[in-house]
Amino acid sequence: MTTSAPVATNPPFVPASSLDISLEVETPEQIALSYSIAGIGSRGAAAAIDTLITVAILVALTVILLIAADHMGPQPAKAPPSSAWVLAFYFIAQFVIMWGYYVIFEGIWDGQTPGKRIMKLRVVRDGGFSVTFGASAVRNLLRVVDAFGVYLVAIVVALMNSSRKRLGDIVAGTFVVKEERAQTRSSPIPAAARDRNLFARLSDDEYSVLERYIERRGTLEPAHRDVIVAQLATRFAEHLPTATSPMGALVRLYESERDTRASGVASRSDTGARREQHAIVALGLKRWNDFASALDAAYKKGLSRMAPEDVSALVARYREMTTDLARLQTASRGRNNESLFYVSRLVARGHNLLYRQRGRTIAMIFGYMTDTVPSEVRRSWRPIALAALLLFGPAAAAYISIVQNPAIASRILPDEMISRATMGSEREKRGEGYVSIPEEIRPVVASRIISNNVTVTYLTFAMGLTAGIGTILMLVFNGVAIGSGVGLFASRGVARLIFAFIAPHGVLELSAICIAGGGGLLIAKGILLPLNRTRRDALIENGRRAIDLIAASTLLLIVAGTLEGLVSPRVWPLTWKLTISGVTALLMLGYLSLGRRVKASSVP
Q: What is the pLDDT of residues 116-126, one digit of tens each?
A: 989 888 898 88
Which range in 193-197, 389-393, 555-559 is most confidently predicted, on average pLDDT? 389-393
388 with 305, same domain? no
- 453 falls in which pLDDT band (50, 70, 90)? confident
Which range in 347-351, 440-444, 585-589 is most confidently predicted, on average pLDDT? 585-589
62 with 131, same domain? yes
164 with 268, same domain? no
> What average pLDDT does the structure give for the chain?
79
411 with 302, same domain? no
**Among the three residues 120, 151, 182, which one is the final residue of a domain in this structure?**
182
Please give the Cα distance from 534 to 228 (Å, whole number): 49
342 with 466, same domain? no
Q: Which of 328-337, 521-530, 591-600 has the lowest mean pLDDT?
A: 328-337
324 with 421, same domain? no
- 202 falls in which pLDDT band (50, 70, 90)? confident
Helices (H) and strands (E) in the chain, counts: 25, 5
> 569 or 277: whose pLDDT is higher?
569
Residue 515 has pLDDT above 50, yes or no: yes
Residue 268 has pLDDT above 70, yes or no: no
165 with 296, same domain? no
Q: What is the pLDDT of residue 561?
A: 86
Note whether residue 27 is domain-resident: no
Note whether residue 29 is domain-resident: no
271 three-state secondary structure:
coil
Taking residues 495-522, report their average pLDDT.
90
Helix axis angle for 133-141 and 442-462, nearest 10°, is 90
Nearest CA to 591 out of 516, 500, 511, 518 is that of: 511
Note whether residue 334 is domain-resident: yes
Q: What is the pLDDT of residue 516?
A: 93
AA identity, residue 340: L
Note whether residue 69 is domain-resident: yes
350 with 376, same domain? no
Cross-strand bridge partners of residue 24 = 34
Please answer whether residues 33 and 126 qualify as being in contact, where contact means their C-beta atoms are separated by less than 8 angstroms. no
342 with 487, same domain? no
Note whether residue 9 is domain-resident: no
CB atoms within 10 A of CB 454: 22
Look up the domain containing 305 and give its range.
191-354
**Among the three residues 321, 354, 387, which one is the final residue of a domain in this structure?**
354
401 with 309, same domain? no
CB atoms within 10 A of CB 96: 13
Note whether residue 17 is domain-resident: no
Q: What is the pLDDT of residue 99?
A: 87
Note whether residue 28 is domain-resident: no
Note whether residue 25 is domain-resident: no
Number of domains in the chain: 3
**Among the three residues 121, 155, 182, which one is the final residue of a domain in this structure?**
182
CB atoms within 10 A of CB 168: 27
277 with 409, same domain? no
197 with 118, same domain? no
- 4 falls in which pLDDT band (50, 70, 90)? very low
Cα 91 to the center of its chain, rounded Å: 24
Q: 28-32: long-range contacts at Cβ-Cβ below 8 A with a sequence spacing of 24 or more? A: 28/355, 29/319, 29/322, 31/322, 31/325, 31/326, 31/329, 31/347, 32/329
Q: Which of 49-58, 254-263, 535-544 has the lowest mean pLDDT?
A: 254-263
Nearest CA to 270 out of 280, 259, 284, 285 is that of: 280
